[in-house]
Amino acid sequence: MTVPAAARPGAPQFEPPQHLDGLVGTHVIYTYANGWQYELYVRNERACDYRIHHGLVGGRWVKNQDAHMTRIDDGTYKIDWHEPTGTCVSLLLDLPRRLVHGTIFFPQWIGGEGQHPERTICFQNDFVHDMRAFRDAGPAYPYVIIAEFARITYVEQCGRDNESVIDAAPGQLPPGYTDRTN
């Protein structure tokens, strides 16, 4: 039996300390190279809220999305989640460089040609049962994978579990909301 390197005495540790203090409470607006615009608020170490302003499912918004978060380095984090729709999201946030690399794995029923992304454009929390039914009806495979870089145009610290950060649909926000920069 082979003992994993991390379990061997004196073996190097590859995982950096997992302090998420620099991530929790962060609110960002970012735009991908393809023009899609998203907004993310990291509520706590296990959940995030987000709104999609432009893109395939622009108009969608979600609160308390379960997520896995990892600190890669100072100011650099990875956030991953799996939605009730079957969509998987993986984000790498480099806050000092104001850079995001996102990979979205859309199931065929959302991202495929002739499919139905509009079914997900809602406040997901009120329609989780429907999202699961659409997911189960499929088709799921082949997944449509979109990997893009994005520029963070707005970032602020809003504190932990702040219900007021993402509290309305994208279409209910004041004009110019996503045009803010800092």
pLDDT digits (tens, 9 = 90+) for 129-171: 999 999 999 999 999 999 999 999 999 999 999 999 999 999 9
Q: Compute the distance between CA of residue 152 and CA of residue 54 in angstroms, rounded to an integer.
A: 15
For the chain, percent of residues with pLDDT exceeding 70: 93
Domains contained in the chain, CATH given: 20-159 (2.40.128.20)
Q: How many residues does the chain have?
A: 182
Q: Compute the distance between CA of residue 174 and CA of residue 108 in angstroms, rounded to an integer.
A: 33
* pLDDT band at residue 3 under the 50/70/90 scheme: very low
Strands (E), 24-169: 26-32, 37-44, 47-54, 61-66, 68-73, 76-82, 88-94, 99-106, 144-157
Secondary structure element (H or E) that encloses residue 135, with its range: helix 128-137
pLDDT digits (tens, 9 = 90+) for 74-96: 999 999 999 999 999 999 999 99
What is the DSSP secondary structure assignment for residue 95, as one 8-state letter? Answer: T
Model confidence, pTM: 0.91
* pLDDT(60) > 90: yes
Read off the amino acid at residue 21: D
Say what the pLDDT of residue 114 is.
Answer: 82
For the chain, give the mean pLDDT: 93
Which of the residues are catalytic?
38, 83
| Token duo for residue 132 | 């699961």
